[in-house]
Amino acid sequence: MRAYVLSRLAQTALVVFLSLTAVFAMVRLSGDPVLLFMPMDIQAKDVNEFRERLGFNDPLPVQYARFVGGAVRGDFGESLRYRRDALGLVLERLPATFLLAGTALLLTLFVAVPLGIVSAVRRNTLLDHVGTVATVLAQATPGFWLGLMLIYLFSVHLRWLPTGGTGTVAHLIMPSVVLAAFFSARIARLTRSAVLEVLGEEYILTARAKGLGEGRVIGKHTLRNSAIPIVTLAGLEAGQILGGAVITETIFAWPGLGRLTVQALLNRDFPVVLAAVFFISVMYTLVNLAVDLLYGWLDPRVRLRA
Amino acid sequence: MRRLNLALALSLALSLVGAAAALAQDRARTKEIVIGLGAEPRTMLAVTIVDWTTNTQLEHMYDRLLDRDAKTLKPKPMLATGWKIVNDTTWEFTLRQGVKFHNGEPFNAQSVKATMDYLKDPASKSHYAAYWRKVKEVQIVNDSTVRFVTDGPWPSLIDRASLTDFLLLPPKALKELGPAKLAEKPIGTGPFKFVEWKRDERLVLERNPDYWQGPAEVSRVTFRFSPEFSSRMAALLSGEIDIMKDVPPHAIEAVERSGRAKIRSAVSSRINYLALVNLKPGPMQDLRVRRAMNHAVDVDELIAQVLKGRASKICGPLSPANVDFAPVECYKHDPARAQALFREAGIDPAKLQLTLDSPSGRYPLDKDVSLAIAAQLQRLGIKVNVVVNEWGTHLDKIKNRNTGELFFLGWGPSVFGQGVIEPLFQANQTYSSYGNNKAIDEKIAKTIAIVDPKGRAAAYAELHQMIRDEAPWVPLWQQHDLYGVASHIEWTPRADEKVWMYDAKVVAR
Amino acid sequence: MKDLKAWLGIGLTAAAIVAAVLAPWLAPHDPMKADFVQSLKPPGSPAHLLGTDQLGRDLLARVLYGARLALFIGVCTVLLTALFGGLLGLVAGFVERWPSAVLMRIADVQLSFPFILLAMTINAIVGLGLQNIILSLSAAGWVVYARVVRGEVLSVKQRDYVQAAAALGMSRSRLLFRHVLPNVAPSIIVVASLQFSSFIVAEAAISFLGFGIQPPTPAWGSMLSESRDFLYVAWWLAAFPGAALALTALGVNLLGDWLRDTLDPKLRV
C-alpha cells in the first residue's frame, strides 16, 4: 500500500510539472505579455524597455529555466498586473474558495445522494419522475442564468439576500446553491443509475430472500457497491468546483481562485496563471489519489497496482 | 421545544431580511457612499500603474498637483497654486502652504522632487516614467517653489500635471517604509484616508478631517468590486450600492423606474471611432475610398437607433471637450456620393469584402455598433465580416497590424490635442491605424513644440483640418457616460471621467 | 408513467429536430436581419411573436435557427468524447498497469488545466467560432468518460462470472466485448445523455467567458449570455432561448433514460 501511495505521489509531482510546462508554453505563445499592462498612449520604445526590464526579451528556454528555478522554491514571480507575489495572491484566495466549495460539496452530498437513492428505490413512482425532471432542469440551466434569476428574486425584488460579496451566512447561500445545483444534478442521476444497477444484482435478491430488512439491503449491500461511479464523479466534480467556479464567483463577486485565474488569463498575467495552475493541479491530483484510495476501501476486490 | 425552534428560525429569517433593507437607510444617515466598480485597483501606490480604476480610487487618498475645472476642463490650482513658464525649458510652480500628509508629514517642494525621482527610478518600473521623460530634473527653489526643467520645450507639461499622472507621494514615508508597504497601506494628502482593502472585494476609506480644502461631506467611501454588469445593476436596484458607471442606454428606463436611483450623464471626453487602416495594403490606402466610407456610414442613425441618442457626434479626432479643439466640417451622409467615389477609385461596392474587428463590452455597445455599421454598408452592397475579439486579442491585432481593413476603437480621456493626435496618426505608434504621411508627421512635430498659446491654437486648427481631409477614420462620437446614482446622493459626473466623492453630497431622506 | 416519460423525451427531442431541420421554412424572418427601428420589442405582436432583440432581429427566427447549432454541437461533441474517452477508459481499466497509470495522469494534467486556457489556446489555433467550441468541449469532456468507464471496468473485472470466464480460458477480447462492455454500456449511455445536454449548456458558459459563437450567428447559449445585459429591460431575450435550451436538454435526457431502460435487460424487473 505504501509503495502505491509513494508511487502516486511521485506521479503527482510529474503531473504538476507537465501541467506547468504546458501552461507556460501556451500562455507565452498566446500573445504579447507586456502590452496589456501598459497605458494605450505609451510609445513603442517604452514598451520595449519594459519588456526588457521584465525579462521577456530573453530567449524562451532562458525564461523557462528561470521559471522552473523559481517554481521549485515556491517563487512564481511578481504579478504583472498587481506587482505583488503571484503565489501569495493565489494563497490569499484560498479561504474564500474553500468555504464556497466546501459548502457546495456538502449540499451536493446531503441533497443529491439521498435524492438519487430514493429515486432508485422508489423507481417509476411520481417521486422518481419529478426528481428526474428536476435534476435535468437543474443541469439544463446555465449557472449564470440561475444565479442572475436568484439575484433578481431574492436581492432586487424581495431584498432578503445580498447580491454578492462575502461576510455573513446570507452571502454564502445563493452562490453555494448555484454552484451545487449543476453538480448535484449529475451526482443524483448517477447515484440513481448506479443504485438501480446494483439493486438488480443477484446478491441483492439473495439478501432480500434471506429476510434482511430493506434498510440493510440498501445501506450495507447496495451503497457500497454502487459507490464507485458516484465517487469517481464526485472526485471529478470536487476538483472542478475548486478550480472552476469562475462563473458563480463572477456573478456573486465572490473573491475566489477561479475568478483570479480567469482574469489573470484574460489579462495575460502569466505569473499568476502559473501559480494558480500549480495550486489547482496539486489539489486535483491529490483529490484523485484520495478517490482511488477510496476505491480500494469500498471494493476490496479491486487491488490497486501502481 | 418546537416553539423555540420556530422562534429561532423566524428571528434568523427576520435578521436576514432586516439586514439587507436597513443598509441603504443607514448609509444615508451616516453619510456613507458605496460605489460599485467592475475591477479592483492594482496597487495603492500612486504614479506607478496607469489604470483608470486604480487612479479613480487613489485620487481619493492622493492629490494631484493641478486639478481640472469640471466645466471648462482647463487646469486649475490644487496642490500648486500658481504656475508660469520661466523660459523655453523651464516651468515654475508655486506650491500651497499648510498641507499635511495623512501621517503628519508636511507637503512641500521636497515631496514634488521625491515623487518625480520615484517614478523616474528604473527600479520602480513605473508606467509614468514614459510620460515624464521630457523632464530632466526637478529643482527646489524654496520650500514652496519648484521648477521642472525639461529637455526641449514642452507646453503640454501643464496638461500632464493636471491629470492623475502626478499624484504626490510622501517622501519621508517613501524612504522609511518603502514602496512595497505603501502599496498596501497608502499615505497621501487627499480628502479620504485608507481604512482597509479586502482584495477583490472592497476598498474602504474614511473622511480626512484635516483636509486642506475642508473635510468632505461624505464620511465613508466604500468601493465594491463586482465584475458582472447585471450583478452591479441588481446591487444598484436593491440599494446595496449608490453609484455605478456605464449604465447602457436601454437600461435607463429600468433604473429610473425603480425609484431608488436616477441616471446622471456627462458628455465624456472619450471618443469612439472606426479606423480605416492604411498601414497595410488594401482598399483603405486610397483616399477616395476612405472618403467614400465617410459618406456611406450614417453616424446619426447609429446614434439615434443603437445608442438611443446617448452620444455626441464628432467630425474629427478632436472633440469640443478637448482644449485644443477647432471645428471642422463633417462628411455628410450621402450614399450616392459614396458610390461615385468608389467607382472613381475603380471599386464596385457590390464586390467589395471588408473585415471589421471589434472589441466586446469595452465601449458602450461597441459590438452592436460594429454590427450596425456592417448592416449600413450592406445597403451599398458591401459585404462586411465583423470579427469580435476578446480585448487582449484586439489590442494585439492592432499592434501587429493584423486587423481587417476596419477596426473599432475608443480613446480617452482625450482632453488635450497631443494626447490624441501624436499616438494615433503616425506609423511608428503602437495603436495607430494611419501613417506614412510626411506632411502630417512634420506638422505634428512642429505643433507640439509651439509654446505660444495663440500660435498653438492656430497650428492645431490647421492640423485638425489636414487630418479631417485625409479621412483616416470615420469619426463617430463622444461617449455619454451614464451613471446610476442613488436618489439620495447629489453628484454630477464629469467629462474627464473623474469620479471624486469629495464633490458628493448625501441628502438624508 | 414510465411511458409518459419516454413520450415526453421523444416528443421534446423530435420538436428540437424539427425546429432545426425546418427552420428556414418555419422562421417568419431572416434571423440575421437587423432592423433598428424594431429593437427590443416585447413578444405578442403578430409580426414578432417572441419579440425582437437589441438590433431588431426576430427572436422566434433566432430560436428556431439556434436549434441547428445546439444539436450539431451536441452530436459532434458526444461522438468525439464517447469514442475517444470511452475507448481509452476501456483499455485503461481492462489492461491496467502502465497504460492505466499513463492515461490517468494525462487525464489529471488535462483536468487541472483551467478550461478557459484550453479555449484560449484553441482560439489561437482555429480562432473563435464553432470549431473552437466543439474542440474545447471535447477536449474537456473526454476525461469524464475515461474515468467513469475505467472505474466500472475495474469493478466489473472482479465479478465472479468474469473471473470464472477468464479462468475458463476465454480470450481477452471476447471477455472485453462479451462481458465487460455490456456491463459498462449503460453507464456510457447515461453519461452520454448527461453530456449531451451539458455540452449545449456549456456553450452558454463559454459564451459567458467570451469564447462562444460569435454574432450574428444565433446560438441559444450565446443568446442567453448576451441577454444578461438586458435582464431588467427585455426579459424575453433570456426566457425563450433559455426555455428552448432547458426543454431540449430535458428531452434528450429522458430519451437517454428510456434507451438505458430498454438496453439493460437486468433492469426490467
Per-residue pLDDT tens over the stretch B207-236: 999 999 999 999 999 999 999 899 999 999
Secondary structure of B369-431 in HEC code, one letter for each residue: HHHHHHHHHHCCCCEEEEEEECHHHHHHHHHCCCCCCEEEEEECCCCCHHHHHHHHCCCCCCC
Interface check for C25 against chain B (CB to CB < 8 A): the answer is no
For residue B82, the model assigns a pLDDT of: 94
For residue B392, the model assigns a pLDDT of: 81
Distance from the Cα of A237 to chain B's closest Cα (Å) equals: 24
For residue A241, the model assigns a pLDDT of: 65
- For residues A303 and B18, give the distance between their C-alpha atoms in angstroms, rounded to a whole number: 57
Chains touching C (3+ CB pairs < 8 Å): A, B
Q: Model confidence over C110-151: pLDDT tens digits?
A: 776 767 777 777 776 776 778 888 888 888 888 878 877 887
Chain B: residues touching C (Cβ < 8 Å): 228-230, 233, 237, 248, 250-251, 253-254, 301, 305-306, 360, 367-368, 371-372, 375, 386-388, 390, 393
- For residues B279 and B271, give the distance between their C-alpha atoms in angstroms, rounded to a whole number: 21
The alpha carbon dihedral of B102, B104, B107, B110 has a sign of negative
Contact call for A285 and C151, based on CB within 8 A: no
Q: Is the pLDDT of residue C53 over 60?
A: yes
Q: Model confidence over C158-199: pLDDT tens digits?
A: 777 777 877 887 777 777 777 777 777 777 777 777 678 778
Q: Model confidence over C5-22: pLDDT tens digits?
A: 788 888 999 999 999 999
Residues in C closer than 8 angstroms to A301, CB to CB, are: 155, 158
Confidence of residue C216 (pLDDT cuts 50, 70, 90): confident
Q: Which residue carries 509531482 as its cell? A: A13
Residues in C closer than 8 angstroms to A11, CB to CB, are: 101, 105
Distance from the Cα of B235 to chain C's closest Cα (Å) equals: 12
Residues in A closer than 8 angstroms to C108, CB to CB, are: 12, 15, 281, 284-285, 288
- For residues B55 and B49, give the distance between their C-alpha atoms in angstroms, rounded to a whole number: 8
Candidate from A35, A44, A46 with C-beta closest to B395: A35
Q: Which amino acid is at C245?
A: L
For residue A30, the model assigns a pLDDT of: 66
Candidate from B250, B301, B375 with C-beta closest to C54: B250
| Among A32-36, A297-301, B17-21, B464-468, the least confident range | B17-21
The mean pLDDT value for C35-56 works out to 87
Q: Is the pLDDT of residue C1 over 60?
A: no
Residues in C closer than 8 angstroms to A296, CB to CB, are: none
For residue C265, the model assigns a pLDDT of: 47
| pLDDT mean across residues, chain C | 81
Q: Model confidence over C55-78: pLDDT tens digits?
A: 889 999 999 999 999 899 989 998
Do the beta carbons of residue C216 and residue C57 sit within 8 Å? yes
Candidate from B200, B240, B430 with C-beta closest to A44: B430
The mean pLDDT value for B366-378 works out to 92
Confidence of residue B21 (pLDDT cuts 50, 70, 90): very low
Confidence of residue B393 (pLDDT cuts 50, 70, 90): confident
Confidence of residue C157 (pLDDT cuts 50, 70, 90): confident
Confidence of residue B20 (pLDDT cuts 50, 70, 90): very low
Residues in A closer than 8 angstroms to C233, CB to CB, are: none
Interface check for C128 against chain B (CB to CB < 8 A): the answer is yes
Residues in A closer than 8 angstroms to B51, CB to CB, are: 39
Phi, psi at A119, each rounded to 5°: -60, -40
Do the beta carbons of residue B311 and residue B319 sit within 8 Å? no
Q: Which one is predicted more confidently, B29 or B47?
A: B47
C35-47 burial, b for 16+ CB within 10 Å, e for fewer? bbebbbbebeeee
Interface check for C234 against chain B (CB to CB < 8 A): the answer is yes
Indicate the burial class of C10 (C-beta count within 10 angstroms; 0-12, 13-18, 19 or more).
Answer: middle
Nine-digit cell string for A1: 500500500
For residue B222, the model assigns a pLDDT of: 95
For residue C266, the model assigns a pLDDT of: 46
Contact call for C36 and B250, based on CB within 8 A: no
**C-alpha distance from residue A168 to each of A248, A259, B18, C108, C157 (Å):** 17, 20, 13, 35, 49
Note the residue count of chain C.
269
Sequence-separated contacts (24+) of A60-69 with Cβ below 8 Å: A60/A28, A63/A28, A64/A21, A64/A24, A67/A24, A67/A274
CA count, 13 A, side-chain hemisphere, C25: 4
Nine-digit cell string for A210: 434471506
Candidate from C120, C144, C247 with C-beta closest to A30: C120
- For residues C5 and A139, give the distance between their C-alpha atoms in angstroms, rounded to a whole number: 17
Residue segments in chain A with a per-residue pLDDT below the cut of 50? 305-306
For residue B383, the model assigns a pLDDT of: 94
Q: What is the pTM of this model?
A: 0.85
Q: Is the pLDDT of residue B179 over 80?
A: yes
CB pairs under 8 A between A and B: 131
Do the beta carbons of residue B48 and residue A84 sit within 8 Å? no
**For an interface test with C, which of A36, A192, A193 has the most C Cβ atoms less than 10 Å from its Cβ?**
A193
Residues in B closer than 8 angstroms to A163, CB to CB, are: 226, 231, 234-235, 238, 240
Interface check for A229 against chain C (CB to CB < 8 A): the answer is yes
Interface check for A21 against chain B (CB to CB < 8 A): the answer is no
- For residues B363 and B472, give the distance between their C-alpha atoms in angstroms, rounded to a whole number: 20
Contact call for B360 and C34, based on CB within 8 A: no
Q: Which one is predicted more confidently, C214 or A174?
A: A174
**For an interface test with B, which of C224, C229, C237 has the most B Cβ atoms less than 10 Å from its Cβ?**
C229
The mean pLDDT value for B243-262 works out to 90
Interface check for C178 against chain A (CB to CB < 8 A): the answer is no
Interface check for B452 against chain A (CB to CB < 8 A): the answer is no
| pLDDT mean across residues, chain B | 90
Sequence-separated contacts (24+) of A289-294 with Cβ below 8 Å: A289/A5, A289/A8, A289/A9, A289/A12, A290/A235, A291/A231, A291/A232, A291/A234, A291/A235, A292/A8, A293/A5, A294/A231
Distance from the Cα of A53 to chain C's closest Cα (Å) equals: 26
Q: Which one is predicted more confidently, A233 or C212?
A: C212
For residue C112, the model assigns a pLDDT of: 67
Contact call for A280 and C120, based on CB within 8 A: no
- For residues C19 and C240, give the distance between their C-alpha atoms in angstroms, rounded to a whole number: 14
Contact call for B50 and A47, based on CB within 8 A: no
For residue B474, the model assigns a pLDDT of: 96
Candidate from C116, C197, C204 with C-beta closest to A262: C116
Do the beta carbons of residue C180 and residue C96 sit within 8 Å? no
Chains touching A (3+ CB pairs < 8 Å): B, C
